[in-house]
């Protein structure tokens, strides 16, 4: 028989770093946009995803609805995934870039908790400890006045907006974790292009309805903002594709650990281009969240390796 061509070592991890960089630059451009609501930015990104994914659906002949038994899961994947995107974009607009990124990076901890509830996966005392670490990091970033006093420093704008952004980022993180649980449930029975298609279509429908209800639809006045919208769509799509490809050729544990680069890039871009130095509270929260998510990833990786060795015996 013919031998399969060996995969390039480390290619999946390189894809992960590249994905993290593209997502971080897209977030930076989002911070630079003026007078455009986060829901409208999300709508533009969904349009770009639909335009680029449509040829793939036609080429792979996947159809537009998917297998009958998987359509409900695909719908909720699209609804929760697009909701996470809208809430994350809102958080990026009203709070420091690094703060919002760190909060959303706690997603693996919530994924473990939801997988224990809905998929009956194992949830140990270590997982509980990592969850507490992640929550501690979120508290250090949110800095509620009843714990830190009425004079909160190192935030953008008012504390009310900072709190709204924190709630949006946490809700986005839980929605992302729910999406990952759904994708685990679906498995490889659905092509990843079809998964992205549901994400874009349902997201666009939701954004259009929300924009008309809020009366927030407007074209950007500045030509620079229009360029930023296009780049956000392209970079977001590229980041999603590279992350999906990374998970296809590399184990989930190393990919999750390498995704800590999201936080690193967020801090670097915030300092270089937004002239906003993070506070020590943010740094402490980032360390807690990164330690928590990395610990969760390492635990899951060890468990998968153990199962693989047992299956070989």
Amino acid 150: pLDDT: 60
Distance in angstroms between the alpha carbons of the first and the last residue of the chain: 26
> In whole angstroms, what separates CA 215 from the centre of its chain?
27
Half-sphere exposure of 224 (CA within 13 A, CB side): 7
Place of tokens 């038994």: 69
Q: Is the backbone of residue 191 left (phi > 0), alpha (psi -120 to 50) or beta?
A: beta
For residues 276-282, give the mean pLDDT.
83
As a three-state string, the secondary structure of the chain is CCCCCCCCCCHHHHHHHHHHHHHHHHHHHHHHCCCCCHHHHHHHHHHHHHHHHHHHHHHHCCCCCCCHHHHHHHHHHHHHHHHHHHHHHHHHHHCCHHHHHHHHCCHHHHHHHHHHHHCCCCCCHHHHHHHHHHHHHHHHHHCCHHHHCCCCCCCCCCHHHHHHHHHHHHHHHHHHHHHHHHHHHHHHHCCHHHHHHHHHHHHHHHHHHHHHHHCCCCCCCCHHHHHHHHHHHHHHHHHHHHHHHHHHHCCHHHHHHHCCHHHHHHHHHHHHHCCCCCCHHHHHHHHHHHHHHHHHHHHHHHHHHHHHHHHHC
- Residue pair 106/173 in contact by the 8 Å Cβ criterion: yes
Six-digit token string for 19: 């994905």
Per-residue pLDDT tens over the stretch 22-70: 999 999 998 888 778 888 888 888 888 888 888 888 888 878 887 787 8
pLDDT-wise least confident of 76-90, 111-125, 146-160: 146-160
Would you tell me how many other CB atoms lie within 10 Å of the CB of residue 234?
Answer: 16
Please give the Cα distance from 176 to 187 (Å, whole number). Answer: 16
For residues 213-232, give the mean pLDDT.
79
Amino acid 69: pLDDT: 78
Length of the chain equals 313
Average pLDDT, the chain: 82
Six-digit token string for 235: 């970079």
Sign of CA dihedral 43, 23, 142, 174: positive
Per-residue pLDDT tens over the stretch 247-278: 777 776 677 777 878 888 989 988 888 888 88
Place of tokens 């490889």: 188
Model confidence, pTM: 0.81
Amino acid 3: pLDDT: 46
Half-sphere exposure of 12 (CA within 13 A, CB side): 16
């Amino acid at each position: 028989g013919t031998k399969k061509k060996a995969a390039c070592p480390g290619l999946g991890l390189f894809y992960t770093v590249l994905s993290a960089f593209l997502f971080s630059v897209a977030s930076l451009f989002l911070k630079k946009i003026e007078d455009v609501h986060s829901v409208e930015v999300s709508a533009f990104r969904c349009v770009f995803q639909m335009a680029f994914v449509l040829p793939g659906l036609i080429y792979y002949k996947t159809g537009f609805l998917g297998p009958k038994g998987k359509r409900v899961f695909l719908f909720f994947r699209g609804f929760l995934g697009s909701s996470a995107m809208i809430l994350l974009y809102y958080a990026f607009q009203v709070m420091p870039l690094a703060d919002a990124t760190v909060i959303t990076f706690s997603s693996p901890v919530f994924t473990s908790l939801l997988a224990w509830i809905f998929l009956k996966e194992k949830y140990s005392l270590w997982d509980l400890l990592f969850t507490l670490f992640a929550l501690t990091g979120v508290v250090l970033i949110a800095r509620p006045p009843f714990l830190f006093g009425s004079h909160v420093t190192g935030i953008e704008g008012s504390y009310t907006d900072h709190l709204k952004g924190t709630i949006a980022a946490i809700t986005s993180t839980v929605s992302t974790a729910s999406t990952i649980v759904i994708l685990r449930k679906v498995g490889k029975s659905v092509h990843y292009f079809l998964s992205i298609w549901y994400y874009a279509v349902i997201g666009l429908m939701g954004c259009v309805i929300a924009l008309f209800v809020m009366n927030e639809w407007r074209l950007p006045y500045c030509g620079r903002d229009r360029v930023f919208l296009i780049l956000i769509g392209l970079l977001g799509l590229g980041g999603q594709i590279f992350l999906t490809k990374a998970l296809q050729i590399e184990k989930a544990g190393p990919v999750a650990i390498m995704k800590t680069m999201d936080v690193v890039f967020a801090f670097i871009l915030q300092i270089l281009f937004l002239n906003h130095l993070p506070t020590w509270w943010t740094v402490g929260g980032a360390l807690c969240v990164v330690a928590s998510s990395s610990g969760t990833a390492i635990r899951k990786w060890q468990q998968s390796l153990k199962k693989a060795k047992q299956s070989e015996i």
